[in-house]
Structure 1
C-alpha cells in the first residue's frame, strides 16, 4: 500500500521489523542552527554565553546528549537503542549563527539518525531556553541531517 517504512500493507502504523537486518556500524550527524539577536550575542565571551542559569553551550551539550539517549521514548515508532557514542559541538559561524552539530554512532541493526536529529534539536531548544530572559527574538532556523553511514544506504548532504 505504501512506501513509508512505518505503515503496514493495510496502511496502519507499525514499528519496522529489524530482525532480518545485518548489524553494521552506523553514524549520523545532524545540525541545528539558532539565530540569536545582538543583545544575546554581545553576552558571548571566549567560547560560551554565561547566564544566571549557567553556561549556555555546556548545558545545551548535556541536554542534547540526554535527549538523544531518550529518542526511543520520544518518537513513537523509533526503536529504543543503546548508542555507542554521542558528541555535540557548538560554534558561532561567520553569519553570527549558533551551529549545533550532533554526531551519534552505534553498531546495530537499525540506524542512529533520529538520535542525532533529536540531540541537535534539544540542544537548540536549550540554547533558546537559556537565552530567552535576554530576548525572545531567537529563531531556531533549521534542523537537518548532514550525513549518515551504515545500513541500507549512506547519505551526505551536498
Structure 2
C-alpha cells in the first residue's frame, strides 16, 4: 500500500506540495444516488413540486459546491476549474435519481474531490427541497467513476474494486 499523501513525516496532516508537478489536462467523473418514494419522483418529473424545478436548483448547488471544495475540505487545493457539469438521470423503475458530475481543468492536481463534492451537494439539495414530502429519502453510492491526467494517467471504476 502506498504512503498517505496528506500526512507529513511527523504524522501530521499536511497539504501536498504540488509546486513542481507538471500542468496537465485533468478530469474526473463521480456519481451518487438519491432514492425516494415513487410519489416524490413522479412529482419532480411532472414539474409539480411546490418548490419548483428541483433539478435546476440542485444543479446550480452542485456547481457552486465544486467551486468551493477547497473551502470546505481542509487539505484540498483551490483550483481554477474550467468545466463543471452536473446531470440528473431519473430511474423510475428504482425510485431514484442518479446524479453524475464532471469536473475539468488544466492544473497540477486532480479534480476527484470537486466531482464528489458536486454530486454530494446536488444530492443534499434535492433532499432539502423534497424533505417536506419525503423525509425518508436516502443518499448513497457516491463514488469516483473515472479520472484522467497527471502521472497516474487514466483510471476507471470497474465495479470489482
Distance across 2 between alignment mates of 1:151 and 1:51: 43
| Contact 1:26–1:112, Cα closer than 8 Å, also in 2 | yes
| Contact 1:90–1:99, Cα closer than 8 Å, also in 2 | yes
Deviation at 1:97, TM superposition (A): 1.6
Distance across 2 between alignment mates of 1:96 and 1:26: 33
Distance across 1 between alignment mates of 2:29 and 2:12: 30
The alignment's TM-score, normalised by the length of structure 2, stands at 0.91
Q: State the partner residue of 2:37.
A: 37
Deviation at 1:42, TM superposition (A): 2.6
Q: State the partner residue of 1:17.
A: 17
Deviation at 1:20, TM superposition (A): 1.1
CA RMSD of aligned residues (A): 1.3
Distance across 1 between alignment mates of 2:112 and 2:67: 12
Name stretches of at least 5 consecutive residues in structure 1 with no aligned partner.
none
Q: State the partner residue of 2:150.
A: 151
Deviation at 1:50, TM superposition (A): 4.1
Residue-by-residue CA offset, 1:18-46 (whole Å, 9 max, x unaligned): 01111100000010100011231231335
Residue-by-residue CA offset, 1:65-122 (whole Å, 9 max, x unaligned): 0000000101000000110000011011242320000100000001111100000000
The alignment's TM-score, normalised by the length of structure 1, stands at 0.93
The correspondence for 1:70, drawn from 61, 68, 71, is 68
- The structure richer in strand per residue is 1
Name stretches of at least 5 consecutive residues in structure 2 with no aligned partner.
none
**SS of alignment partner, residue 94 of structure 2:** coil
Deviation at 1:52, TM superposition (A): 2.3
Q: State the partner residue of 1:124.
A: 123
| Contact 1:105–1:112, Cα closer than 8 Å, also in 2 | yes
**SS of alignment partner, residue 61 of structure 2:** helix
Deviation at 1:136, TM superposition (A): 0.5
| Contact 1:39–1:134, Cα closer than 8 Å, also in 2 | no
